[in-house]
Structure 1
Amino acid sequence: MARPTVSHNYTHRVLDSLDRQPERIACHQPDGTTFRRGDLSALIHRFAHVLAAKGVRRGSSVTLLSDNRVEIMAAKYAANLLGARTTYLYNGLAAAVQATIVAAVDTDVLVVDSALAGRAAEVLERAPVATVLGLGSIGPGEDMLALADKAPGDPVTPTEVDADDVCYIRHTGGTTGNPKRVQVTYATQSSLYDLMSTVVDADMVLLLCMPLSHAGGLSAEMVLGLGGRLVLHRGFDPAKVLADVAAHRVTELHLLPPLLYQVVDHPTAGDHDLSSLRSVSYGGSSASPTKIAQALGLFGPVLVQVYSQNEASVICELSAQEHLEPELLATVGRPVPGARVTIRDEDGNELPTGREGEVCVRSSTAAKGYWRNPELTARVWRGGEVRTGDVGYFDERGYLHLRGRMEDVVIVVGGYVYPAELEEVLVRHPAIAQAAVFAVPDVDEVERVHAAVVARWGRGVTPEQVRAFVTAELGAMYAPHQVHLVERLPLTDAGKPDKKLLRRSTAGR
């Protein structure tokens, strides 16, 4: 029987969806086991009973530390069912940073994957939490799965919440500093479900190989909650991605550009049946038109670029059909329905077509602001718009071109070097597979352009050859001060090139 709609609390939609066709598989777990939709619905209700018994209610804070597994998603749904706010911890952050987050969001309950019990102990030493629950035995807390087995089986009615109640707090990747805490309301979450309900269907199979704490995790929750099926991986392995796309007839694949490149460059890429894919979406960091063209050769006309931000939600999209026009691969597409995108100068004036400035977004799915940081919120959310910090311009056809992050622009003698622009040129070199460009100050605090490059399989390249190639393509101003030859680019837990780590490892060289 359908439940009555509760204003703003999206969880009734998730449960209604799961209760339809309960025997269907909802999720393939990393360990090879499966979860049926009816079993997942029942687990969400039992988890809600467990959390309620521990005092969780509207306005409580539940923090989640886990690898990719469907049980942690059930815990998140259960907390939101009770009107609580949730926070995922990035697994790749240091224990000290995770502890800062645990304390900052006023964690009432910490739910921990038993595989991460050691890390949880480190976090709890720095930031004690009143109630700790484990997905399995973890030592400093009760086993939530065991408690759920004894919990009542009757359904829990979704708690009524206000539109501005915080549903979850999502942390930025921290690539340019400490992670920022972006708060998303229940009303925004409902709007996101409305948006996704137009594209998710029961035949959708999404493979997730990025952490649930990343933006890809939000897509996974939407797909699962709207009737699709998930294939979860613990981490990224290009060979396993290729194999499981074929084995599970995956229809949707989300990858950050560096991970997409690894799949495309994998020596077995052409040996797998990838015909089930309807969409291979990418975004989260700048993408190389050269590498995307190579991806088209592997996957066919199914690539979709999504330009989004935790603060602003989805901003622009370049459709699969638009990928067939080579000149559009240098863009991030056009604004999605419901997003008004403008380019503004430093004084907030809107700039005309072709003029470069800061990308600003007005959208019903934008976040509310930063958790307990009114000063930063006021700088980013201005006049009803989100100031993204990205530099870009619109062309005559209405496509948005991004130049890079405002803080990433390197000021050199003669002008500005945009890392994304130089990275695109570097991967055109026949011996270079991937590249990351970043600034490192010298002893006089003058910024110098550095480039880390990964050679193609079986190829080699020297720093001198790289500098000569860039000089010939763009001019001496763009030639890297130093070129670092690396076996692979370090990535953040979110899958983006870790330029902070690259700066630290190259400083003083």
Structure 2
Amino acid sequence: MPADERAETGRSAVGPAPVSGAPDASPESAATTATAATAASGLTGVTSGSFGQALVAGLRAAGEREVLVRGTRRLTGEQVYAAAQALAARLADEGVTSGDTVACLYGPHPESPVSRVAAYLLDCRYVYLLSRMRPDAVETVVRTFRPSVLMVDPSRRRQAAALRSAGLAPHCLRLDPGLSTARPTGWAAAASARRPHGAPDRIASVVFSSGTTGPPKPIAYSNRSELAQFATAQAVYGTSRWRFLVPPGPFVPTLMAQWAMATGGTAVLPEQDDAASWVALIRRERVRQCAVGLPPDLFAFADHLAATGGGLGDLEVLVYGGASIAPARMAPIARRLSGVLRQIYGTTEAALIATLGPPEHRREELLGSVGRPAPGTEVKVCDADGAPLPPGRVGHLWVRSAQNMDGYVDARTGALVMPDPPLALAEADVSAQADTGAPPDAAPRPRPGWLPTGDAASLDRDGHLFLAGRLSDRLPSGAYPQPIENSLCEHPAVAEAAVHALSDGTTAVVVVPRPGHAIDLDALRAHLDASHPPETQPRHLRLADALPRTPTGKLDRREVAERFAVPASSE
């Protein structure tokens, strides 16, 4: 890995150029496309078509090597492929055919990724019902999408029974551990040489947004988008066989397990969810990549290492992300683990947007950044009209890449709906495409459009992306909460902080104090004087033992605003 990380930039027809690039790469390699990255993986036949083809190719290449490990269960590529064929045969017996929709109450057992392979073999649309989803949201999805079959991870049988009792899931298929010992028979034997068709534009999967800013939204990915996501992951984590420890539950780790198998490598699925068990598993299983999770998970992991000592064996990459993290809290962790740390930033709609690699973790001024754009990804920070803003200015973050979703699924019609970019951004895109030098009558190459993230952000002159919060979190002063919270966490008495608006137009801060420290508002405001003007500083202070979190572990700003609506102290 090079000692520095650079991003490629260029000129745009309107304002500053969109920033694009590849972490850990030179400008020449920063423009690597998803297809080229996939070709570099060494897997044949996956430079077009579907990720399903890449996944099956990885399983077949693995053969007798293990690809799924959970506790005492160690499944080889041959076993997973045979299990997927057997499950595909059972789905076919239920009347499932190419193009149908199946759903899965996904869980931590190996049977869940096996179900995804089976759906690829049948060319079915696959709906992820992850464990983070609220039961009422799952009911709505099943009622709306009416899957031909609902597959059920062993951990979620009770929820499936409730759905059946409500008359919402007449065709349930339990994913039994016996699948892993299956051998191809009948239809499955005939399919042993079969690979998924994978028409590029066919919708392959539907997943749901986290619901932190409203009801979960159904997000559709085509085979083309899924393949681009895998190629980008390989460009970030490497093209050799992975040995990846991934937590159950969130969507990205779910994909990481599938990506690991597609490399011909191994996904290690933990049975316990505590730092001590994970560190032991990393050492015992010789894990090379680990997705530790959200910042609180990283904190627990780092605290355990600091308390117990010892190394991390063969670990090369420790991935974290999914929520903001105060640089002051991150600095001591980065000093101990900078050689393996990689932050990732993305959204369900746009997939991986940016990443902060190990070399950048050695620079304290970048610990508040989420890094540079991922390979093949362009980003722009724009004003409300879509005009790009100069470095250092906070605006709406837009992103464009082949990884982007194909649209939200309209629950009434099933049609895909994409948000429209503002006029200035659309016009700049048209001008840029007109300057390509292609003959006027040449057929235009399909290019993904700009996608809004809903995040407020800024870029520095080197292309590092800094998040300020959600656009909807903007405070009455015009400031955003995250930079203020980051500064507050530099105070020695502050463990965590959440800034929010009150109904009278003022702002308040909820602080979790560090043990043994007293906190008063005047001291906090004095601390902020050097970095934030008075009009942006909180006028009210509340103390709390902990900040409310969403089911995905993120700060629940809506709950903060409701629970701490009445100030306890003020200036």
Regarding TM over 0.5, the answer is yes
2:332 paired with 1:291: no
TM-superposed CA distance for 1:77, in Å, is 1.5
Q: Equivalent residue for 2:552?
A: 494
Aligned equivalent of 1:460, options 516, 527, 534:
516
Aligned equivalent of 1:484, options 543, 547, 553:
543
TM-superposed CA distance for 1:377, in Å, is 2.7
Matches within 5 A, 1:21-170: 21-29=62-70, 31-126=71-166, 128-136=168-176, 145=179, 152=186, 153-154=188-189, 155-156=191-192, 157-170=194-207
SS of the equivalent of 2:346 reads: strand
SS of the equivalent of 1:294 reads: helix
2:454 paired with 1:416: no
TM-superposed CA distance for 1:322, in Å, is 1.8
Question: In 1, Cα distance between the equivalents of 2:88 and 2:348?
Answer: 27
SS of the equivalent of 1:20 reads: helix
Change (3 A) 1:500 1:98: farther
Question: In 2, Cα distance between the equivalents of 1:489 and 1:13?
Answer: 42
2:441 paired with 1:387: no
Aligned equivalent of 2:508, options 449, 452, 457:
449
Contact 1:436/1:499, CA 8 A, preserved across alignment:
no
TM-superposed CA distance for 1:343, in Å, is 1.5
Question: In 1, Cα distance between the equivalents of 2:205 and 2:407?
Answer: 12
Question: In 1, Cα distance between the equivalents of 2:511 and 2:91?
Answer: 47
Kindly report structure 1 stretches of 4+ aligned residues shifted beyond 6 Å: 2-6, 373-376
TM-superposed CA distance for 1:427, in Å, is 2.6
Moved more, 59-68 or 415-424: 415-424
Amino acid at match of 1:277: L
Aligned equivalent of 1:319, options 353, 357, 376:
357
SS of the equivalent of 1:41 reads: helix
2:264 paired with 1:264: no
Q: Equivalent residue for 1:242?
A: 279
Aligned equivalent of 1:209, options 229, 237, 247:
247
Question: In 2, Cα distance between the equivalents of 1:192 and 1:403?
Answer: 26
Q: Equivalent residue for 2:14?
A: none
The one-character-per-residue Cα deviations of 1:139-167 (angstroms, maximum 9, x if unpaired) are xxxx9849967954513523424322111
Question: In 2, Cα distance between the equivalents of 1:267 and 1:330?
Answer: 23
Contact 1:204/1:229, CA 8 A, preserved across alignment:
yes
SS of the equivalent of 1:401 reads: strand
RMSD: 3.0
Amino acid at match of 1:336: A
TM-score, normalisation: structure 1: 0.86
SS of the equivalent of 1:378 reads: coil
Moved more, 95-104 or 476-485: 476-485
Question: In 2, Cα distance between the equivalents of 1:436 and 1:67?
Answer: 33
The one-character-per-residue Cα deviations of 1:404-443 (angstroms, maximum 9, x if unpaired) are 11012222xxx2342222332233233443x25153644x
Question: In 1, Cα distance between the equivalents of 2:461 and 2:48?
Answer: 42
Aligned equivalent of 1:274, options 304, 307, 312:
312
2:471 paired with 1:471: no
Change (3 A) 1:504 1:97: farther
2:490 paired with 1:428: yes
> Kindly, what percent of the aligned residue pairs are identical?
27
Change (3 A) 1:120 1:503: farther
The one-character-per-residue Cα deviations of 1:356-387 (angstroms, maximum 9, x if unpaired) are 21111111111111111779732479842001
Contact 2:82/2:183, CA 8 A, preserved across alignment:
no
Question: In 2, Cα distance between the equivalents of 1:470 and 1:406?
Answer: 25
Contact 2:108/2:155, CA 8 A, preserved across alignment:
no
Question: In 1, Cα distance between the equivalents of 2:262 and 2:231?
Answer: 12
The one-character-per-residue Cα deviations of 1:277-331 (angstroms, maximum 9, x if unpaired) are 2111222221222222222233242212222111112222222112222212222
SS of the equivalent of 2:197 reads: coil
Q: Equivalent residue for 1:140?
A: none
TM-superposed CA distance for 1:272, in Å, is 3.7
Amino acid at match of 1:369: G
Question: In 2, Cα distance between the equivalents of 1:440 and 1:210?
Answer: 35
Contact 1:50/1:151, CA 8 A, preserved across alignment:
no
Contact 1:92/1:492, CA 8 A, preserved across alignment:
no
The one-character-per-residue Cα deviations of 1:6-38 (angstroms, maximum 9, x if unpaired) are 952332322222222422221221x43222222
SS of the equivalent of 1:107 reads: coil
Contact 2:232/2:376, CA 8 A, preserved across alignment:
no
Contact 1:252/1:278, CA 8 A, preserved across alignment:
yes
Contact 1:315/1:335, CA 8 A, preserved across alignment:
yes
Contact 2:65/2:77, CA 8 A, preserved across alignment:
yes
Contact 1:58/1:161, CA 8 A, preserved across alignment:
no
Question: In 1, Cα distance between the equivalents of 2:462 and 2:196?
Answer: 46
Higher strand share: 1
SS of the equivalent of 1:115 reads: helix
Moved more, 499-508 or 392-401: 499-508
Question: In 2, Cα distance between the equivalents of 1:44 and 1:196?
Answer: 24
2:378 paired with 1:378: no
Contact 1:67/1:91, CA 8 A, preserved across alignment:
yes
Question: In 1, Cα distance between the equivalents of 2:203 and 2:307?
Answer: 42
TM-score, normalisation: structure 2: 0.78
SS of the equivalent of 1:44 reads: helix
Aligned equivalent of 2:404, options 360, 366, 380:
366
Aligned equivalent of 1:18, options 51, 59, 74:
59
Q: How many residues align?
A: 488
Aligned equivalent of 1:439, options 500, 506, 510:
500
TM-superposed CA distance for 1:86, in Å, is 1.4
Moved more, 106-115 or 201-210: 201-210
Contact 2:409/2:416, CA 8 A, preserved across alignment:
no
SS of the equivalent of 2:478 reads: strand
